[in-house]
């Protein structure tokens, strides 16, 4: 971090407003679009008398609603929000090309390292002459700036400018840092979602890419999530020492919502890591005794089923075998049984596992392992969409990533099988894993 009189020292324990905490939670829950999220962040920052203009740039995403956005060449979309009566404007003049956009190399260097809180452009060093000239041209005398960056990839930037000089209020700095982190996490997750959707569509040709993709995305997503969760927990601890303070009270009320939203994203990470481990597992396809695989999965779910008051039963012929990767069979069954337990009725119920031999459409001998429950079931419309990535029909308090069935189907297809299901709303669901009964090539 650059240390200079023109830059405000940023404390590691800024306070923040309850409004920012609530907005960060809303952004992380993903119910509103990214460009709408950014607009709401801009409105909140402009509610501070210290801020005259807010600007953002997106370099990896096209806004869903382009109203108010300006495209600079083919590399970025930019937008600004200006306080009524303010003269500052960060956008290039109408019709100007990307060469007229602010570059601010010195401030950008600081922003890439964290958060740049510049208090007076005239105090900047000689090497920041270009920054000072650009800020003078647009009428900004002090600036808060940061980038949306994760896993070494920059998705854009966020800045708040003022026509006045002076230090930035701690609450505003805290709000800016938290909201920038929330937007970065959302952009990072959206990038992962798009990449995952494209990878799934490529089918069997992308299996090698899956191994690297799932592992890398899963590990790297932990960084922004850990930052948001850790920062929120620290602020909640500080707030608990003075719960009567309005900001502290708001934080204590909304902080748990932020943590729950982060936990939802962590479940996505765990799903990606689990899939990565399964795809990269170096075991070979072999005869898998279905009863043994089912027994392992039932054992692993003993505690969660007991906590949910769900009875898990298994009735499998010990002679039935399938030709597959052992880890893959157990991973898919873990997803199916886990769903049956997690999305059961509040009063509990029963999950039943069975297996049968059958002939596939091509006459190939197949094995179908069925997971049947008497839970709330799905409507035909829900069942039609349940295998799409990130689609969930449980309430927000239920944990889950919406990736389990999509990943399970991909794993099964790698081994020449499939995952399918039927369901009746109010009655229950049956999902099954179908795999070859033996090596089709006789190897």
Identify whether 6 is part of a domain: no
Which pLDDT score, from 0 to 100, does residue 204 have?
47
Are 53 and 81 members of one domain? yes
**Is the backbone of residue 370 left (phi > 0), alpha (psi -120 to 50) or beta?**
beta
| Residues 293, 331 contacting (CB under 8 angstroms) | no
- H or E segment to which residue 305 belongs: helix 302-307
Q: Examine the pLDDT at 398 and tell me if it is beyond 60.
A: no
Please give the model's pTM, rounded to 2 decimal places: 0.49
Q: Which helix (H) or strand (E) covers residue 226, if one does?
A: helix 207-240
Q: Are residues 291 and 324 in the same domain?
A: yes
**pLDDT tens profile 178-188:** 999 999 999 98
Region 15-22: what's the mean pLDDT?
90
Same domain, 407 and 305: yes
C-alpha 42/C-alpha 217 separation (Å) is 29
Q: What is the mean pLDDT of the chain?
A: 83
Domain span holding position 411: 283-436
Task: Specify the residue for token string 């959206």.
Answer: 190
Same structural domain for residues 123 and 249? yes
Same domain for 226 and 296, yes or no, is no
Are residues 263 and 393 both part of a single domain? no
Same domain (yes/no): 309, 173: no
Q: Are residues 246 and 335 in the same domain?
A: no
Check: CB of residue 101 under 8 Å from CB of residue 125.
Answer: no
Domain annotation covers residue 7? no
Count: domains in the chain: 2
Boundary-marking domain end, from 207, 240, 274 = 274
| 166 lies in the same domain as 309 | no
Q: Determine if residue 151 is left, alpha or beta; phi over 0 gives left, psi from -120 to 50 gives alpha, anything else beta.
A: left
Same domain, 157 and 247: yes
CATH number of the domain encompassing residue 296: 3.30.565.10
Domain presence at residue 4: no
**Strand ranges across the sheet with 428-436:** 310-315, 349-359, 365-373, 428-436, 418-424
pLDDT band at 74 (very low <50, low <70, confident <90, very high): low
Q: Are residues 310 and 254 in the same domain?
A: no
Domain check: are 140 and 237 in the same one? yes
CATH code, 112: 3.30.450.40
pLDDT tens, residue by residue, 185-215: 999 888 887 776 665 555 545 555 555 665 5
């Amino acid at each position: 971090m650059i240390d200079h009189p023109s830059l405000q020292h940023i404390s590691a324990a800024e306070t923040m407003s309850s409004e920012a905490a609530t907005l960060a939670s809303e952004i992380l829950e993903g119910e509103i679009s990214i460009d709408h999220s950014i607009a709401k962040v801009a409105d909140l920052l402009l509610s501070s008398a210290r801020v005259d203009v807010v600007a953002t740039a997106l370099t990896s995403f096209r806004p869903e609603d382009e109203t108010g956005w300006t495209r600079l060449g083919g590399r970025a979309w930019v937008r600004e929000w200006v306080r009524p009566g303010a003269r500052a404007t960060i956008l290039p003049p109408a019709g100007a090309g990307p060469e007229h956009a602010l570059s601010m190399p010195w401030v950008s260097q600081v922003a890439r390292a964290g958060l740049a809180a510049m208090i007076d452009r005239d105090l900047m060093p000689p090497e920041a002459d270009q920054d000072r000239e650009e800020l003078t041209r647009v009428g900004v005398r002090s600036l808060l700036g940061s980038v949306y960056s994760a896993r070494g990839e920059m998705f854009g930037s966020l800045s708040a400018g003022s026509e006045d000089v002076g230090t930035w209020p701690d609450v505003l700095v805290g709000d800016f840092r938290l909201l920038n982190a929330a937007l970065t996490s959302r952009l990072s997750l959206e990038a992962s979602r798009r990449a995952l959707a494209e990878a799934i569509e490529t089918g069997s040709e992308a299996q090698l890419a899956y191994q690297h993709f799932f592992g890398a995305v899963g590990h790297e997503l932990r960084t922004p999530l850990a930052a948001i969760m850790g920062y929120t927990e620290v602020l909640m601890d500080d707030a608990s020492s003075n719960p009567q303070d309005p900001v502290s009270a708001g934080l204590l009320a909304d902080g748990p919502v932020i943590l729950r939203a982060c936990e939802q994203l962590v479940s996505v990470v765990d799903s990606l890591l689990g899939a990565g481990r399964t795809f990269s597992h170096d075991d070979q396809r072999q005869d898998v005794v279905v009863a043994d695989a089912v027994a392992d999965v039932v054992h692993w779910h003993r505690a969660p089923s007991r906590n949910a008051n769900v009875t898990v039963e298994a009735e499998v012929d010990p002679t039935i075998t399938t030709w597959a990767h052992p880890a893959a069979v157990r991973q898919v069954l873990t997803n199916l049984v886990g769903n049956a337990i997690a999305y059961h009725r509040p009063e509990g119920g029963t999950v039943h596992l069975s297996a049968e031999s059958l002939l596939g459409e091509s006459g190939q001998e197949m094995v179908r392992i069925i997971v049947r429950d008497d839970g709330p079931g799905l409507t035909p419309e829900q069942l039609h969409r349940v295998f799409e990535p990130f689609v969930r029909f449980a309430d927000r308090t239920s944990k889950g990533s919406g990736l389990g069935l999509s990943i399970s189907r991909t794993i099964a297809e790698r081994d020449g099988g499939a995952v399918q299901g039927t369901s009746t709303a109010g009655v229950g669901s049956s999902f099954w894993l179908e795999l070859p009964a033996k090596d089709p090539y006789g190897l």
